[in-house]
């Protein structure tokens, strides 16, 4: 395939997404502040750029996967950033930044003749590796249609409209539900174990009934009952997403009382467990209070 692409940010999520594009036969130029993060992709045939601007001067379509809105804005708009590139025509942001950041980026890039698509993804590291992510896209439809085949390499693509930020709003809504499910399922499971219920039997019942959710179906059986706590997403990132969602809701005048309590739970997980720890460790906060452990190792 002749189309050459750029990818900025090849960490936990970026690396497998970039790897899938390479495996699909696309020429890929990558940039990351950490040289060690780039090595596995360079070994697979990717080229490296010396800076974000250099990458954006080498290719027309650039994907970005970075941890925070502030980092995305810096890499994109600062001196020596992507917007300084001479060849870039399309900017595809796979990060979770919130709609207001997406709108700010779209406006600034449009002034330089660059089309912006906010295209956050959901499905975790496992989904990125398997190419089964949910990809939520908004921005100019013509430009979306041009990159849709590329996005289909990494997951199932949903086009949400022309307005910048719609993809980001969808992602924040999705992650709020995910964060809430894990927080409340942690409380429910600890309560049941404290009462004497077997946690595996609890999950079997919940998943056969009306309480089933993403935490009971995936996170508890795969990372909490085995006590591996390795699902692949950090407490700090989940707290960031919930906080972003509440900030956007507040700006729109939408009340979020339940979400406010969920945000406090994730702040506690960051404080007690650490922001870099896997987000499944949130259950340990509740276990600590209750004096029990939700474990399949009995």
Do 127 and 155 touch, CB atoms closer than 8 A? yes
Helix ranges restricted to H, 152-219: 166-195, 199-208, 214
Instruction: Report d(CA 147, CA 140) in Å as an integer.
Output: 11
Same CATH fold assignment for domains 4-164 and 169-290:
no
Would the pLDDT of 5 be above 80? yes
* Residue 267 pLDDT class (50, 70, 90 cuts): very high
Residue that has been written with the tokens 């720890």 in this structure = 277
Active site residues: 171
Instruction: Report d(CA 58, CA 124) in Å as an integer.
Output: 29
Type and span of the H or E element at 142? helix 141-151
* Residue 3 pLDDT class (50, 70, 90 cuts): low
pLDDT at 1: 42
pLDDT at 4: 82
pLDDT at 138: 98
What tens digit of pLDDT does each residue of 183-198 get? 999 999 999 999 999 9
Return the percentage of the chain with pLDDT > 70, whole number. Answer: 99
Mean pLDDT to the nearest integer, 77-96: 95
Q: Where are the beta strands (DSSP E) in the chain?
A: 4-8, 27-31, 47-48, 61-64, 90-93, 115-118, 121-122, 133-138, 155-161
Mean pLDDT to the nearest integer, 161-170: 97
pLDDT at 139: 97
Alpha carbon 136 to chain centroid distance? Answer: 11
pLDDT at 297: 75
Would the pLDDT of 298 be above 70? no
Task: HSE, CB side, 13 Å, CA atoms: give it for residue 110.
Answer: 12
* Residue 283 pLDDT class (50, 70, 90 cuts): very high
Would the pLDDT of 246 be above 50? yes
CATH class, 169-290 region: mainly alpha
Mean pLDDT to the nearest integer, 131-141: 97
Residue that has been written with the tokens 């995936």 in this structure = 218
Would the pLDDT of 178 be above 70? yes
Would the pLDDT of 2 be above 60? no
What tens digit of pLDDT does each residue of 21-48 get? 999 999 999 999 999 999 999 999 999 9
Would the pLDDT of 248 be above 70? yes
**pTM of the predicted model, to two decimals?**
0.91
Would the pLDDT of 143 be above 80? yes
Do 84 and 95 touch, CB atoms closer than 8 A? no
pLDDT at 124: 87
Enter the DSSP assignment of 278.
B
Mean pLDDT of the chain: 95
**Strand pairing category for 121-122 and 133-138:** antiparallel
Q: Tell me yes or no: is domain 4-164 CATH 3.30.360.10.
A: no
Do 100 and 125 touch, CB atoms closer than 8 A? no
Per-domain boundaries in the chain: 4-164, 169-290
């Amino acid at each position: 395939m002749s189309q050459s692409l750029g990818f900025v940010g090849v960490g936990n999520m970026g690396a497998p997404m970039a790897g899938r594009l390479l495996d699909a036969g696309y020429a890929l130029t990558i940039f990351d502040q950490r040289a060690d993060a780039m090595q596995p992709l360079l070994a697979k045939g990717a080229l490296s750029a010396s800076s974000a601007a250099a990458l954006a001067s080498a290719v027309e379509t650039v994907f970005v996967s970075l941890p925070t809105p502030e980092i995305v804005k810096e890499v994109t708009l600062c001196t020596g950033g992507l917007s300084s590139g001479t060849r870039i025509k399309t900017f595809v942001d796979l990060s979770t930044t919130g709609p207001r950041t997406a709108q700010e980026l779209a406006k600034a890039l449009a002034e330089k003749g660059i089309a912006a698509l906010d295209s956050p993804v959901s499905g975790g590291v496992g989904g990125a590796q398997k190419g089964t992510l949910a990809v939520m896209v908004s921005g100019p439809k013509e430009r979306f249609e041009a990159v849709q085949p590329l996005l289909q390499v990494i997951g199932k693509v949903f086009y949400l409209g022309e307005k910048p930020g719609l993809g980001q709003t969808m992602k924040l809504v999705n992650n709020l539900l995910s964060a809430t499910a894990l927080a409340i399922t942690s409380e429910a499971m600890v309560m049941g174990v404290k009462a004497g219920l077997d946690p595996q039997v609890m999950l079997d019942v919940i998943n056969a009934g009306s309480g089933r959710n993403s935490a009971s179906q995936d996170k508890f059986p795969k990372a909490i009952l085995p006590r591996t706590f390795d699902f692949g997403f950090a407490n700090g990132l989940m707290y960031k997403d919930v906080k972003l969602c509440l900030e956007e809701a507040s700006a729109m005048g939408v009340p979020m009382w339940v979400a406010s309590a969920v945000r406090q739970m994730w702040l506690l997980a960051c404080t007690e467990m650490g922001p870099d720890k896997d987000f499944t460790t949130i259950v340990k906060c509740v276990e600590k209070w209750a004096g029990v452990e939700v474990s399949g190792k009995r």
